[in-house]
Amino acid sequence: MDLQLDNEQRGLRDTMEAFFAKESPADRVAEVAVDGIDRGLWRKMIALGGPGLAVDESQGGAGLGLLDAVLVCKEAGRRVACVPVAETISATRLLARLQGCADVLDDALDGRQTVILGIGQPQHGMLPHQPWGALADAVIVWDEDELVLVGGGPGAVIPSLGFTGLANWYLEANRRVLATGPEARAHWEQALAEWQLLTASVLTGTGLEALRIGCDYARERIAFGVQIGSFQALQQPLAESQTSLEGIELLVQETAWVDFDGDHWKRQSLMCFVAAGRAAVAAAERALHVHGGYGFTVEYAINLYVRRAKGLSLMLGDPQRLWTSIGQSLTQAV
């Protein structure tokens, strides 16, 4: 057992930390937060090989694994980056597992097409509220009994709390069936679980960075003659959030480290997603609160962390229902 990043992982993390710090600073995010789409950043991500980060080299990717992708997603989350990292990585990994989709994969890897994984269930021929659906050229959707690539994007942007470039996708036109049957369904479910895990990592990054920002402020701000960070009433909720998020981050890393094994793995991923959403929202809200009235203004970056954490945590629907489905899968399993 070794719970430290190895040298290569540390190198990747440091590179991506520096990349997002330079390319996605708070003032830039504030500028693009109306739509939640940073096209300049996305072009640079493509040039870095971002979409194919965790696809085999033999298939044109960078040859890294899911755990590496988790590390990259955390760094994107720390800077509330306005680009589809989890959405494209889970899509290219799905394409790489399918037969006869090499052309789509090639387009997705070199950025000729931005292909994202569609999240959620289509309703009346429409897939609502897709994160970065307003940036993507195509979406991979499970529709009835078929895995379908729907082109003709991007969709029209819907302004949102999480500023995640939301768009509704209409599924009637520009359809290409990629695969059908139970095997295709299983591949799709794995892709969705990977998206959950990667998004959990985005959320832990967002939550932990919010805490860091909150602590910085708490050291600077003087009230009643002392640094407000010395007040126990302020320290305790922040320390509780730090502990939860570090634990969830470890659980995400562990899940990414073990091989996919079906139902258990899918449940762990969903658990990571819901737990990370809850913990990141609490952390960001507490960090905002530390700022007092300034935290409520858009001058300070902390409001972006509350918005992004809450928005992302709603992507799979009411978290309470997700807890129910996790509980049911445990109590119904024999």
Partner 1 sequence: MDFSTGPDASAFRAEVREFLREHLTAAVHERMHDTGTMHDWGLHLGLAERGWIGAGWSAEEGGQGHSAFMVDALYQELAAAGAPTDGFSATMCIAETLRRIGTSFHREQIIKPILEGRLLIAMGYSEPGAGSDLISVRTSARRDGDMWVIDGQKAFTTLAHEAGYVLALTRTDPDVAPRNGLTVFLIPTDSPDFSLAPVATLGGERTNMTYYSEVRVSDEMRVGEIGGGWDVLSLALSFERGGEFAAQLRRLLDDSISWVRTNSDADAADAARVGRLAADAEVARVLGLRAAWSRDLPGAGAVEGVMAKVFATNRLLAAAGDVLDMLGSAGQVTDGVEIPGAQGIEHTYRHAQVTTIYGGTTEVLLGVIAEKRMGLPRSRAARGAPAPAAAER
**φ, ψ at 272 (rounded to 5°):** -60, -45
Q: How far is the CB of 309 from partner 1 (least distance, A)?
A: 17
- Of 43, 73, 179, 192, residue with least CA distance to 130: 192
The residue whose two tokens read 């929202």 is: 281
When asked if residue 166 is in the footprint of partner 1 (CB under 8 A), the reply is: no
Q: How far is the CB of 249 from partner 1 (least distance, A)?
A: 9
Q: Which stretch binds partner 1 (CB under 8 A): 11-19, 44-52, 101-109, 254-262?
A: 254-262
Strand residue runs (E) in 136-191: 138-143, 146-150, 167-170, 175-180
The residue whose two tokens read 């942007």 is: 157
From 120, 240, 289, 294, residue interacting with partner 1 (rule: CB under 8 A): 240
SS3 call for 334: coil
When asked if residue 8 is in the footprint of partner 1 (CB under 8 A), the reply is: no
When asked if residue 17 is in the footprint of partner 1 (CB under 8 A), the reply is: no
Q: How far is the CB of 212 from partner 1 (least distance, A)?
A: 8
The radius of gyration of the chain from alpha carbons, rounded to an integer in Å, stands at 20
From 211, 281, 282, 309, residue interacting with partner 1 (rule: CB under 8 A): 211
Nearer to partner 1, 44 or 267 (CB): 267
Q: Which stretch binds partner 1 (CB under 8 A): 3-11, 33-41, 151-159, 296-304?
A: 3-11
Helix (H) or strand (E) holding 94: helix 85-97
From 89, 215, 282, 316, residue interacting with partner 1 (rule: CB under 8 A): 215
- Of 219, 253, 250, 254, residue with least CA distance to 234: 219
Q: How far is the CB of 92 from partner 1 (least distance, A)?
A: 23
Q: Which stretch binds partner 1 (CB under 8 A): 18-26, 94-102, 165-173, 270-278?
A: 270-278
**φ, ψ at 302 (rounded to 5°):** -60, -30
Q: Return the structure tokens found at 239.
A: 């320390």
Q: Torsion over CA of 33, 39, 45 and 48, rounded to 10 degrees?
A: -150
CB 99 within 8 A of CB 57: no
Spatial neighbors of 116 by CB under 8 A, at least 6 apart, are 84, 87, 88, 91, 130, 131, 132, 133, 135, 136, 138, 139, 140
Q: Which stretch binds partner 1 (CB under 8 A): 24-32, 87-95, 117-125, 325-333?
A: 325-333
When asked if residue 99 is in the footprint of partner 1 (CB under 8 A), the reply is: no
When asked if residue 244 is in the footprint of partner 1 (CB under 8 A), the reply is: yes
Kindly identify the residues of this chain, within the stretch 44-83, that bind partner 1 according to CB under 8 A: 67
Nearer to partner 1, 170 or 231 (CB): 231
- Of 136, 202, 196, residue with least CA distance to 168: 136
Q: How far is the CB of 269 from partner 1 (least distance, A)?
A: 12
Q: How far is the CB of 74 from partner 1 (least distance, A)?
A: 13
When asked if residue 326 is in the footprint of partner 1 (CB under 8 A), the reply is: yes
Task: Name the residues that contact partner 1, by CB under 8 A.
Answer: 1-6, 9, 67, 211, 215, 218-219, 226-227, 229-232, 235-236, 238-240, 242-244, 246-248, 250-251, 253-254, 257-258, 268, 271, 274-275, 320-328, 330-331
